[in-house]
């Protein structure tokens, strides 16, 4: 919801860029007060690189998508993160899925195909946007999340979550800086849009990523990514109540199929007794 409010006035790239700038400015003083500056300097390359894949690209993709599709549809597509996470872990970390997890992958991607088939159109609307590119942008974002989760487990293991979160947001801010400046809106931005970006940076990114990297370290990428199951519930609710968005039975049905597949593919649900 905050991404949509910010993107409508800032535009896709400035909204994503300001989100990570706010998050970095929020986290850096806390990191320095904790005496972790030297740790960040020693691992800045890895944390900055993770930030590009885990924040810069996905945030830009989602803000772009929200210019033409609803928060509810975006959040349902976001629930595919564990699917991509399982595939990446299989191919990269050799975490081969068992029968239940493989079935979950097939079910989950079937749900994505069903949803994309009904919602994706590459015909531009009156504003020159198309839902097809928005859907693909969301799926690119979720693929990046899946890659970043395994990369974080492999290259950031043992680092304090505050260091991982701060470094990643600094790297994302640097990565998005050229696009943020180039596409900065010509018209003044309202207070509501600034507040949305502020909430995105502090609550939805700064604080959230401290918890997220701690979950990856302690519970592993698959379980950490399972937090995306809760996002559609809240995003659809906020979209309907606060933004007046419509939710169709087909969207709900596809969402159920996707969540069922992701619970199986991530190992949270097994068909074995």
Token pair listed for 71: 């928060």
Token pair listed for 183: 């596409």
Q: What is the pLDDT of residue 229?
A: 63
For residue 127, pLDDT over 60 is answered with no
The mean pLDDT of 73-85, rounded to a whole number, is 79
Q: Which residue has the tokens 């998508």?
A: 65
For residue 25, pLDDT over 60 is answered with yes
For residue 36, pLDDT over 80 is answered with yes
For residue 42, pLDDT over 70 is answered with yes
For residue 273, pLDDT over 60 is answered with no
Which has the closest alpha carbon to 141: 182, 210, 85, 212? 85
**Out of 50-64, 79-93, 157-171, 211-225, least confident range:** 211-225
Q: What is the pLDDT of residue 209?
A: 84
The mean pLDDT of 32-59, rounded to a whole number, is 95
Confidence of residue 131 (pLDDT cuts 50, 70, 90): confident
| Residue 225 contacts residue 266 (beta carbons within 8 Å) | yes
């Amino acid at each position: 919801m905050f991404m949509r409010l910010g993107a409508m006035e800032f535009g896709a790239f400035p909204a994503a860029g300001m989100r990570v700038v706010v998050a970095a400015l929020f986290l850096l003083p806390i990191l320095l007060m904790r005496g972790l500056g030297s740790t960040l300097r020693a691992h800045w390359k890895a944390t900055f690189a993770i930030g590009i894949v885990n924040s810069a690209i996905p945030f830009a993709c989602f803000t772009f998508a929200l210019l033409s599709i609803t928060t509810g549809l975006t959040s349902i597509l976001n629930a595919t993160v564990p699917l991509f996470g399982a595939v990446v872990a299989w191919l990269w970390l050799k975490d081969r899925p068992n029968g239940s997890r493989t079935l979950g992958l097939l079910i989950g991607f079937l749900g994505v195909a069903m949803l994309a088939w009904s919602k994706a159109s590459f015909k531009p609307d009156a504003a020159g946007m198309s839902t097809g590119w928005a859907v693909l942008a969301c799926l690119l974002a979720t693929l990046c999340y899946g890659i970043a989760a395994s990369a974080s487990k492999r290259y950031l293991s043992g680092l304090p979550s505050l260091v991982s979160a701060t470094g990643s947001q600094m790297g994302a801010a640097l990565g998005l800086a050229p696009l943020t400046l180039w596409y900065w809106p010509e018209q003044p931005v309202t207070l509501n849009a600034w507040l949305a970006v502020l909430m995105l940076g502090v609550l939805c990114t700064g604080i959230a990523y401290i918890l997220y990297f701690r979950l990856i370290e302690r519970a592993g990428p698959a379980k950490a990514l399972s937090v995306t199951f809760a996002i559609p519930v809240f995003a659809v609710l906020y979209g309907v109540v606060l933004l007046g968005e419509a939710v169709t039975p087909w969207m709900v049905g596809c969402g159920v199929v996707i969540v069922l597949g992701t619970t199986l593919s991530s190992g949270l649900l097994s068909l074995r007794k």
